[in-house]
Chain A
Amino acid sequence: MAAANTAAAGTATAAPAPAAPAAPVQVPRGQVDLVDFIDWTGVECLNQDPSHSIVNALKQTLRDDEGLHLASDSDEQLLIYIPFMQVVKLHSALFKGPEEDGEICNSCNASCVITGPKTVKLFSNKEHMGFSNVNDYPPSDTLDLSADHLVENKPATLKYVKFQNVRSLTIFIEDNQSGSDVTKIHKIALYGTT
């Protein structure tokens, strides 16, 4: 795994710049970026690569840095737990992943491209879930991200009704666009109100 990551990093630096610059983020009207309300002491991410950790995707300064990303470790799934400092209402979520022509994943036999998340399940107010019981509960919402979602900086709207009283959010990334062993996320942004 370590070898795959370093090889991937090597090709990333050599890869050409993205074809078209992404559009600037349009914060939905009336919503704020909830990054200020995240309780950082409680943020956890299962199956993350230690050198590419969750803060790279969540924190204000780090997430806009193109060189930093969150990567998964043993397989492509990720389980992110985000507690908030106060009760919030979630409106939409933005996921930013690598480009279509990103680096090749070295670990699996098929030469598939390392890509961003596809099926994302969100659970509100469920603490300390593990991979074993994540499918025992119905998710508060399920997002099926397409490649456009990941690149165009367009937040995906959530079922607002289900996220009225959110103390903590669990994001389960079930698979990714290409089906490779590694899922990469450049940025996760949550929009809503308090």
Chain B
Amino acid sequence: MICIDNSEWMRNGDYAPSRFQAQADAVNLICGAKTQSNPENTVGVMTMAGKGVRVLVTPTSDLGKILACMHGLEVGAEANLAAAIQVAQLALKHRQNKRQQQRIIAFIGSPVKYDKKVLETIGKKLKKNNVALDIVDFGESDDEKPEKLEALIAAVNSSDSSHIVHVPPGDNALSDVLLSTPIFTGEEGGSGFAASAAAAAATGASGFEFGVDPNVDPELALALRLSMEEERARQEAIAKKAAEDTENKDHASSSNNDSVMAEAEPATNAADDDKKEQPKDDDDLLQQALAMSMEGGSSGSASVADAAMAEAGAVDPDLALALQMSVQDANMSSDSDMSKVFEDRSFVTSILNSLPGVDPNDPSVKDLLASLHGQGEVRSFLFLS
């Protein structure tokens, strides 16, 4: 159960951009970490100030709901820590799954007006009911606040399940400081989410293959992976047949293709900056590919190819780009080695199997595969249903 401090003290800007915003970011990060680390975890959110001590969302594992409730929170009034902890306890007591451990994470940014004794009795009551407490001490810091909060944690703590983190104002964002604390890493000794988030923050680029997070954009990641594989296969074949490739047109076009592929590779390997340039290139390449496919090759199959491309493109422009690249190869050199690759049934079916929404047993797909061999020409038709 997360207790947010949305009192007047949160308007201060000593944590960028404002205390309240830094706190909200930290809360979002914690919710994500908790829900990811264990599918049975639930998180609830409540406010300590503002309109009063109230529960915004009861413990749930739905991250969207939690993030949505953080919207439109107003800052004002004074935080009531004792009442907030009581309400949090009550909310935890009425959780759906009684086997879950109870924990309260409190962000305390305003001064604490209770004295040590009161806090200690609160702590004892929490310990008696087997509730763990994590405190993030930030914002206002008067002389006694750290002591009081330490006393509270000492009263609650039973076998090291409760923690306190003091975050002084400064350059580091509240969330970054919290990432390395036991509040994030939790009892089980680290969660994958926290670890990868920390790694991402540290290196400045995601550690994922192709610079695209498969969780965020699976289609793009898939398309990029496909084009990488095709390029790799093509490069191998070209290396074998390098001596035979004497036509200037082929050279020029394959070097054009190489530059296109080379462009794709740095884009796939490097960080996000390159991806901004790609959309512009996409359009150019699209025009190029359409023009070329109009000129060369048999018009019938080309127009069908276009239709297929348009259909695929309508669904996903990035996927279309990958398809364009593979079709370009086909149009460039008629006895391209891609044909050999694509005639390899197992390769095609394996690609088809790995694509979402394509069922290789679908009769239309089967007909296609048959026609592929019949034509002796290379097209890859992907119907996205």
A residues lining the B interface (CB < 8 Å)? 46-47, 50, 73-75, 77, 127-128, 130-132
Contacts and interface: CB of A to CB of B under 8 A. Distances in A.
Contacts of A128: 98
Nearest to B93: A130
Nearest to B161: A50
Given A50-B158, A132-B93, A73 B128 contact: yes
Interface string B118-136: 0000001101111000000
Given A50-B158, A50-B159, A130-B93, A73 B129 contact: no
Contacts of B129: 46-47, 130-132
- The 9 A-B pairs with the shortest beta carbon distances in the complex, nearest first, are A74-B124, A74-B128, A47-B128, A50-B159, A128-B98, A74-B127, A50-B158, A46-B130, A130-B129
Contacts of A75: 124, 128
A74 B128 CA distance: 6
Nearest to B155: A74
A131 B158 contact: no
Contacts of A130: 93, 129
A132 B98 CA distance: 16
B9 to A, nearest CB: 31
Nearest to B156: A74
24 contacts: A46-B129, A46-B130, A47-B127, A47-B128, A47-B129, A47-B130, A50-B158, A50-B159, A73-B127, A73-B128, A73-B158, A74-B124, A74-B127, A74-B128, A75-B124, A77-B128, A127-B98, A128-B98, A130-B93, A130-B129, A131-B128, A131-B129, A132-B93, A132-B129
Main secondary structure of the interface of A (DSSP, over half): loop
Contacts of B130: 46-47
A184 B93 CA distance: 27
Interface in B139-159: 158-159
A50 to B, nearest CB: 5
B40 to A, nearest CB: 16
Nearest to A75: B128
A74 B124 CA distance: 6
Contact of A46 (B98, B124, B128): B128
Contacts of B158: 50, 73
A47 B129 CA distance: 7
With a 10 A CB-CB cut-off, give which of B127, B128, B158 has the most chain A CB atoms: B128
Nearest to A45: B130
A132 to B, nearest CB: 7
B300 to A, nearest CB: 70
A131 B127 CA distance: 12
Contacts of B98: 127-128
A9 B158 CA distance: 19
A74 to B, nearest CB: 4
